[in-house]
Amino acid sequence: GAGVSQSPRYKVAKRGQDVALRCDPISGHVSLFWYQQALGQGPEFLTYFQNEAQLDKSGLPSDRFFAERPEGSVSTLKIQRTQQEDSAVYLCASSPTSGGGLDYGYTFGSGTRLTVV
C-alpha cells in the first residue's frame, strides 16, 4: 500500500482482556518498528523486526507483550491480560532498509489508540 496501515484505529478493552493490534507496513519494507506513546509523551521504542526476525524486544514493558511478523510483512502486537497502564497509542513504523535509519526514511502509521477500562 501507499502508507503504513494500522488497525483497529481505536480499541477499548476491559482489564484482563487480550488484544491484538495489526500493522501493515509499506510493501517491500524490510524494517518494522513498534512504538508506544503514552498520553502527553513522545513515542517510546518497543520492538524491532528485520523481515521476519525479531532482533530487538528490549522495549517491551512486560512478558504480557508479544509481537510477531511471521512472513516478514504484516506484524501483530499482542497484549495479554491488559492493565490500565497499557492505555496508550501504539505506533508502527516501517523503513525500506535493513536496520532502518532516518537517512533512508521512516514512515509511521496513524496508530491504534488502546484504552483499558
Contacting positions for other proteins (CB under 8 A): 31, 33, 35, 40-45, 48, 50, 55-56, 59, 89, 91, 98-103, 105-108, 110-111, 113
By beta-carbon proximity to other proteins, the closer residue of 12 and 81 is 12
Q: How far is the CB of 76 from other proteins (least distance, A)?
A: 19
Q: How far is the CB of 5 from other proteins (least distance, A)?
A: 12
Pairing of strands 88-95, 112-116: antiparallel
- Grid coordinates representing 7 are 488497525
Closest CA to 95 of 34, 25, 9: 25
Q: How far is the CB of 99 from other proteins (least distance, A)?
A: 4
By beta-carbon proximity to other proteins, the closer residue of 48 and 65 is 48
Task: For residue 81, give the 3-state DSSP assignment.
Answer: coil
By beta-carbon proximity to other proteins, the closer residue of 80 and 107 is 107
Task: For residue 103, give the 3-state DSSP assignment.
Answer: helix
Q: How far is the CB of 84 from other proteins (least distance, A)?
A: 20
Write the CB contacts of 2 (distance below 8 Å, at least 6 apart in sequence): 26
Neighbours of 9 (CB within 10 A): 10
